[in-house]
Each structure stands twice: as C-alpha cells, then as structure tokens.
Structure 1
Amino acid sequence: MAKLTIVANIIANEDSVEQVKAELIKLIDITRTEAGCIQYDLHQDNENPAHFVFFENWSSRELWQDHMRAQHLADYQAATKGAVASFTVNEMTRIG
C-alpha cells in the first residue's frame, strides 16, 4: 500500500480564529502517536489567519481512516461546531 498524503484546509469564522486554532493544536500530539502517522503538521496562513492547513503523511489510507474515526477528532468537531466556515480534505499521492 502506498503512503497517503493528506492536505486538509480549515477556514475558521473570523470571530472564531483563536478558538479553532486552540482546538487544532490539541490534535497534534495525540495524532502523532497514532498508528500509521508519519507526519502531522499544522500551518496557519501568514496573510489570512483564519486559514489553517494540516499537511499529513500516513502509512496507509486505512490507518488514516482510523484517525478520522478517533475520539479526539469527534471532540474537536464538537468543540468547533459553528466556528468553522469550511473544511476540505484532499487525499494525495506523491508522484515526484
């Protein structure tokens, strides 16, 4: 199974940037200990602080899907309900 790269874009509502940021930061350490997690890095746009990007590498799609079903992701979603304007995930494969 090929390694899976995930690019997740999270856009917080303008009045919820710090709340969303704090909740996203909580995900980092616990996710990095999950089976299959190779890389899990959070970025914040320099010009639009409401825009966050997770750049992730997983050893398999199955283990990434386990991550997506984890309790800490459910807790994040509950804590940020109504605070996120958009969320998109791209599953990618490195080709070069």
Structure 2
Amino acid sequence: MPKLTIVANIHANADKIELVKAELLKLLPITRAEEGCISYDLHQDNENPAHFTFFENWESRELWQTHMNAPHLAAYMAATDGAVAEFTLNEMTNIG
C-alpha cells in the first residue's frame, strides 16, 4: 500500500495567530513519535502569518486515522476552538 501524504491548511483568526501557532507547535514532537509517522512538518506563510500548512507523510491511512483520534489532537482542537477561521485537509498519493 502506498504511503499517505496529508496537506492540511489552517487559517487562524487575525487576533489568534500566536495562540494557534503555539498549539500547533505542541503537536510536533508527540506526532513525530507516533507509529507510522514518516514526516510531520509545519510551515507558516511568509506573506500571511495567519496561514499554517502541515505537510505530512504516513505509512498508511489507518495509522494516520489513529493519529486523528489521538488525545493530543483532541486537546489541540479544544485549545483552538473559535481561533481557527478555516481548515482544509487533503489526502494525497505521490504519483511521481
């Protein structure tokens, strides 16, 4: 089975950028230690600091689903409730 690539875009409310950034940064060491995590990289847009992008690679969709149901992700969601203006997630497969 091919690995799964995730591209997640998070747009923070203008007055909550630092809160969202701090909460996203907390996810890095925990997630990188999870079974199946190949890479988990967070980026912040140079032109729009409210825009964050995760670029993730997972060994399988099942292991990514385990991550999505993990307590630390639930804690992030609770901590940033009302602070995120927009969230999009794409499940992708490398084709070349």
TM-score by length of 1: 0.99
SS of structure 1 residue aligned to 2:46: coil
Unmatched segments (≥5 aa) in structure 2: none
Q: CA deviation at 1:90?
A: 0.2
Q: How many residues align?
A: 96
Aligned to 1:19: 19
Aligned to 2:10: 10
Q: Matches of 1:89 and 1:65 in 2, distance apart?
A: 13
Q: Which residue of 1 aligns with 2:38?
A: 38
**Sequence identity percentage:** 76
Aligned-residue Cα RMSD (Å) equals 0.3
Runs of 4+ in structure 1 deviating by more than 4 angstroms, as ranges, are: none
**TM-score, length of structure 2 as denominator length:** 0.99
AA partner of residue 80 (structure 1): T
- Secondary structure of 1:91 counterpart: strand
Other-structure match for 2:58 = 58
* Contiguous gaps of at least 5 residues in structure 1: none
